Amino acid sequence: MAPESRRRVFTIAIIAFIVGLLFIPSLFQSKTVKTISYSALLGDVKSQKVVSATVDNANGVISGQLSDGTNYTANGPAPAISSEIDTLKSNNVTVTFSNPSSFASTFLPYLIWILIFAGFMIFAGRQARGQMNGMMAVGRSKAKQFNQDKPKITFADVAGYLGVKQEISEVVDFLKNPGRFRDIGAMIPKGMLLVGPPGTGKTMLARAVAGEAGVPFFSVSGSDFMEMFVGVGASRVRDLFNTARKQAPAIVFIDEIDSIGRKRGAGVGGGHDEREQTLNQMLSEMDGFDPTEGVVVIAATNRPDVLDPALLRPGRFDRQIVVPLPDLEERLPILEVHAKGKPLDPNVDLTMVARGTPGMSGADLANLVNESALHAVRRHSTTIAMEDFESARDRVMMGQERDTMVLHEEERERIAFHESGHALLAYVLDKTDPLHKITIIPRGMALGVTMTLPEEDRHIMSRQHLEDSLCMRMGGRVAELLVYGDLSTGAADDLQRNTDLARRMVREWGMSKEIGPMAWGSNNQVFLGEDLMHTRDYSDHTSQMIDDEVERILREQEARAIEVLTLHRRGLEALTRALLEHETIDGLEAARLIDEAHGEPVHTRATKTVSSLTGPAASPAVSVEAPEPTTPEVPVAATAEAAAAPAWKPPTLPAV
């Protein structure tokens, strides 16, 4: 029984005992007892009305029964007078004498109260000791120890990450068979730091180590070391390593180590003494004057840049294992693991789903599978179909549809032109990602979305790809300028993202001839450095040059977008009409409309790929076949509208 339950039962028992002591004796007392005077009793004796009498030698109380069955009690002399006793006997009264024990009559009531008081004091003492033990235990480690009795995860349950599992499995092998490593003179790393974005499975890998190791495994979060009391963090670190050292070989896993391992002395107003003392104790335990033998520390963080350099040096965390976002070959087995046991429709192609989810972490993929199952339930379906995965991906990447939002027809048309501008440039430009879907249905915070999906995972990007991306984002703004002759607030996010990208091209990636091969990193956060405000490491003149170059790049791409959209004005209008009619079209249909409006294939060699939503048989990247060159008939209304549109003269592009 838990301590709280025992305490509750004991309290209830004490209360019940006191209540019973007070009220139970009165329940057994006769309700017909009649109190009479001693003289009246003698008169009743002489009248033959008394049947029995019990005389208490201690206090002279006489009790008994009258002839009518009534019980009586009377206070007589103590000790009883012998002549009166003879009178009782001579009148046929059965006389008995009561000699109660002096201990029972005198001390028993006091003894009961003494016992009650003693029980209360014992209870209060235990409570006080428990509180003192709790205060004394505040410095003990909160690490959870895993053993073989608990359900375990092995490396077989972790999909992908073969290189990561190989490095971690070396630690497991050393703990199981240390002699094989010592014979060759190899020393196991004392610490391994798992570094990666959130959701990539760092904690799951550590749980797999616990399942594979067969040795004591202690798991603790970095925040568990911090408390409101001074010195608690360092005390818990000592207790954790002492416990692990006693059960060595053992593994200690510290999740989110950046909460206690941040750079010392950084931040506004200096460092945090309690956190720094905790870090100092951890540094000492990992590789101090008395090094720990047989205890391997595995830590996880997604912010390695904030960690103290002393924590990362060899001898403490010897290895930093990067757990990156899964690539295409790893996303497929991760999806298969999360889809295991779920009723999938035969038309579901997880390979296609994996190709359409670049940049998603393992947690994102798990959420994608769960969202698809929820969508299937909303359709009242017993299986998860491909359309459920498509809807789930749209929800995750673009947001939930806002069916309740009602747009005016003018707003709806402007949004259609805006998204058509993005989509046309995404198809016409060579280095943009394949066009996947265009929709004017409001999703999340956006009123419309143009979605592109890369054919494969991309790790570096060329300048041409970046410039095409800038130009494509300018498509919505430029389309509104060409059609309406003015601007709206719909391009705010596009402009913000383009400005950030262009600034990085100039400041960090050296993609400006004026600036040259020089780089200035992004602003550091306050808690990372020693200064309150970030100080520039370049002059005002250089700052002006950076601003000028960013402006030049953005204006060049705007002029380029004007030139392309002016050339493909008919395709822009065709896409807009299709969006106003269907609200959502896929990349293959958009490419067909643009080619037909242009009169010939935009990409004559079918080098541009687009994505199709037309079914599981179609691959996510479909080459656009070159149709026969035709000259489409342009309606008179469309010609008049094009003639009435503002005449834009594309600016002359400077030589690169």
Treating both helix axes as pointing N-terminal to C-terminal, what angle do 569-582 and 409-428 enclose, rounded to 10 degrees? 130
Distance, in Å, from the CA atom of 192 to the CA atom of 312, rounded to the nearest integer, reads 10
User: Which tokens belong to 154?
Assistant: 């092995």
For residue 536, CA distances in Å to 265, 356, 539, 543 come to 21, 41, 8, 9
Q: Is 53 helix (H, G, I), strand (E, B) or coil?
A: strand
**Class of residue 117 by CB neighbours under 10 A (exposed 0-12, middle 13-18, buried 19+):** exposed
Cβ–Cβ < 8 Å for 389, 335: no
Question: Amino acid identity, residue 177?
Answer: N
Q: Structure tokens of 574?
A: 């065709």
> In degrees rounded to 5, what are phi and psi of residue 138?
-65, -25
Residue 352: closest CA among 310, 315, 389:
389
* 41-72 as b/e: b if 16+ CB within 10 A: bbebbeeebbeebebbeeebebbbbbeeeeeb
Could you tell me if 645 and 482 are in contact, meaning their C-beta atoms sit under 8 angstroms apart? yes
Q: Which residues of 538-556 are buried (b: 16+ CB within 10 A; e: fewer)?
A: eeeeeeebbeebbeebbeb
Cα–Cα distance for residue pair 482/493, rounded to 1 Å: 20
Q: In angstroms, how far is CA 431 from the centroid of its own chain?
A: 37
Bridge partner residues of 443 (DSSP): 401, 446
Tokens of 204: 């799951």
- Give the other-Cβ count within 10 Å of 219's Cβ: 20
Cα Rg of the chain, angstroms = 44
Q: Is 429 helix (H, G, I), strand (E, B) or coil?
A: coil
Of 419, 549, 556, 573, the catalytic one is: 419
Query: Residues 268-293, buried b or exposed e (16+ Cβ, 10 A)?
Result: eeebbebbbbbbbbbbbbbbeeeebe
Close Cβ partners of 394 (under 8 Å, ≥ 6 residues apart): 437, 443, 451
419 flagged as catalytic:
yes
Tell me the sheet residues that pair with 98. Answer: 56
Q: What Å distances lie between residue 271 and 142, 308, 338, 529, 568, CA to CA?
A: 25, 12, 43, 11, 59
Q: Identity (one letter) of the amino acid at 290? A: D
> Which of 468, 429, 482, 435 minimizes the C-alpha distance to 454?
435
d(CA 70, CA 30): 10
Question: Residue 411 in contact with residue 561, Cβ under 8 Å?
Answer: no
**CA dist., res. 547 & res. 112, Å (int):** 91
Instruction: State the Cα angle at 61 between 57 and 65, rounded to 5°.
Output: 115
Given phi > 0 = left and psi -120 to 50 = alpha, else beta, which region is 435?
beta
Q: How far apart are CA 64 and CA 44, in angstroms?
A: 12
Phi and psi (nearest 5°) for 183?
-65, -30
- DSSP-derived letter for residue 489 is G
Distances (CA, A) of 164 to 108, 161, 188, 208, 319: 76, 5, 16, 12, 11
Of 250, 59, 238, 67, the residue nearest 146 (C-alpha) = 250
| Residue 490 DSSP code | G
Residues carrying an active site annotation: 419
